[in-house]
Amino acid sequence: MVLDLPKLPELKIDTDHRVPAAWDFDTSVSLVLLVPESDRKALLRAPWGDFLTLRLTDFPTSTNPVFLSGPRGHRTAILFVPDTKTTFSYGTLARKTLGPLVKERAITVNVISLFADVEKVSTMADALVASGMAHLFQLPRMTGKAADPMALRAMNFYGNFDDADFSTTRATAEGNNLARWLTQLPGNYLTPGLYQQYAETLATREGWATRFYGIDELKELGAGAFLSVVQASPTPDAGILHLQYRPPGVDAPPLALAGKGVCFDTGGSDLKVSGHMRGMNGDMQGSAVALGTLLALTRLKFPHPVDCWLALAENHIGPKAVKSNDVVTAMNGTTIEIVNTDAEGRMVLADTLALASRSKPRAILNYATLTGSCVSALGQRVAGGFSNRRDWIEPIIQAGERCGERVWPFPFETDYDEDLESDLADTLQCRVEGAGDHIYAARFLSKFVDGNIGWLHVDIAPTGSHKGGLGVIPTEVQGFGVRFGVEWLKRIAES
């Protein structure tokens, strides 16, 4: 079944430099008061200062935000903004502040700043809008019951919010919503063929050029790594979808996005057991994030060409399934000895990266829910980064900290390749045993990227889902990486 593509929630946003001298808002309005954590006495300068200060004595000083009723009955959240500005911590506070107000069906939220630091308060405003967009967005549900409509319609900001970048916030929210929506779809609602249909419908709407490399063409191109994953699929709808964003009048090498789009992963011959197959409809989240990033860049009228490559596949079990010790030849001529058919993501990405490299992009950013070892290394709060450019290490960290989607780089040393040596082929697909698979997966993928192209691989297995939400996102499905991708490609384009 094909569903309608999601739309950005309608949320009216207004700003006013003047903080009202009297808070005589309609009682249907909820308030969020931004108070400096280092100067809580700033609350005394507010119209309700004495009342609110007295009420705060009922709460532990560690409570943040504090929810209470104002003197006229307004639902009021007092949010103490930390002195140390980190976009992630502000995003977390925004989620914890807006969540209860949205659940209580607030229609309008007035955000009032009680301090003068423009940068901090603007970052907090961006986080509140981003979280509002995420809270309002309806993830897909397969039921005849109508979803409860969200009540929130407007957010008004009073104070100096000059540095707030609501246009970027809206664009990245739309991309994130798309990524979460696609990831939430059940496997029978998002086969490779249906995924291609969604992406091409979006491309028509947004003016992107498209080309689909189906199984027959991939055979002609010698994409043996990709084809080994899909050879047991009952429906021959797998392939690599190429989307092109081209700003008017710009003739330059593109930047490139790529994503793992395995719509369902059984593990193949190395079958997943003991409940590990559940949730594998979300193994395509890397491609959804790549697509969402392209949509956000389009909304921002990004002044540089961008290519987006989606590896759309399913990993099935059956008589034709690839086996351990099989040897296949990738598009760039590299022969690969299969070790574990459940390490299929690096196989579909290998040929996708090789194909993307042929267009000589300025840089490639790829996303994938790739390895459990990355989760073991980082937990579920920070994504793993791997790059063939040593001088990108600190910029990767900075980009993640700036946008609130944190990425931490791992070692990328050539001697790791010694452990991928095969007696049969040019390389092993992965190690037979041992730790560090996230690093070995990145080393394997690097063999299919032209060394002259700057490349960043982001393993979002740690951040693809987080129970209770993470940062500004309130849902378990995160769609992590859209904000990072926009921030990263802006940096690369300007370098």
pLDDT of residue 150: 85
Percent of the chain with pLDDT over 70: 100
Sign of CA dihedral 179, 364, 236, 201: positive
Catalytic residue set:
272, 346
Instruction: Tell me the β-bridge partners of 435.
Output: none
Backbone angles phi, psi at 15, to 5 degrees: -125, 150
Picking from 256, 208, 218, the residue whose alpha carbon sits closest to that of residue 360 is: 256
**Preceding amide of 71 cis, omega within 30:** no
Sign of CA dihedral 205, 262, 472, 105: positive
Sign of CA dihedral 83, 86, 88, 90: positive
pLDDT of residue 223: 98
Q: How far apart are the first and last CA of the chain?
A: 44
pLDDT of residue 257: 99
Picking from 157, 375, 187, the residue whose alpha carbon sits closest to that of residue 195 is: 187
Structure tokens at 52: 């609110």
Picking from 425, 455, 432, the residue whose alpha carbon sits closest to that of residue 442 is: 455
pLDDT in single tens digits along all 495 residues of the chain: 789 999 889 999 999 999 999 999 998 899 999 999 999 999 999 999 999 999 999 999 999 999 999 998 999 999 999 988 799 999 999 999 999 999 999 999 999 999 877 888 999 999 999 999 999 999 999 888 877 888 999 999 999 998 899 999 999 999 999 999 999 999 999 999 999 999 999 999 999 999 999 999 999 999 999 999 999 999 999 999 999 999 999 999 999 999 999 999 999 999 999 889 999 999 999 999 999 999 999 999 999 999 999 999 999 999 999 999 999 999 999 999 999 999 999 999 999 999 999 999 999 999 999 999 999 999 999 999 999 999 999 999 999 999 999 999 999 999 999 999 999 999 999 999 999 999 999 999 999 999 999 999 999 999 999 999 999 999 999 999 999 999 999 999 999
What does the alpha-carbon distance between residue 234 and residue 325 come to, in Å, rounded to a whole number? 23
- What confidence tens digit (pLDDT) does each residue in 377-402 have? 999 999 999 999 999 999 999 999 99
Q: What is the DSSP string of 95-164?
A: HHHHHHHHHTT-SEEEEEE-S--HHHHHHHHHHHHHHHHHHH------SSSPPPPP---EEEEES--TT-
Q: What's the CA angle centered on 168, arms 166 and 170, to 5 degrees?
A: 65
Q: Helix axis angle, 285-299 relative to 482-494, nearest 10°?
A: 60
What does the alpha-carbon distance between residue 484 and residue 271 come to, in Å, rounded to a whole number? 33
Segment holding 355, helix H or strand E: helix 345-357
Q: Which amino acid is at 26?
A: D
What does the alpha-carbon distance between residue 225 and residue 237 come to, in Å, rounded to a whole number? 16
Average pLDDT in the chain: 96
Structure tokens at 173: 């929210």
What does the alpha-carbon distance between residue 204 and residue 16 come to, in Å, rounded to a whole number? 38
Which of the 8 DSSP states describes residue 2? P
Structure tokens at 275: 């409940």
Q: What is the dihedral of CA 186, 190, 191, 194, to 10 degrees?
A: 160
Q: What is the pTM of this model?
A: 0.97
Structure tokens at 32: 């969020």
What 3-state class would DSSP assign to 378? helix
- What confidence tens digit (pLDDT) does each residue in 101-155 have? 999 999 999 999 998 778 889 999 999 999 999 999 999 998 888 778 889 999 9
CA atoms within 13 A on the CB side of 393: 6
pLDDT of residue 180: 98
pLDDT of residue 118: 85
What 3-state class would DSSP assign to 409? strand
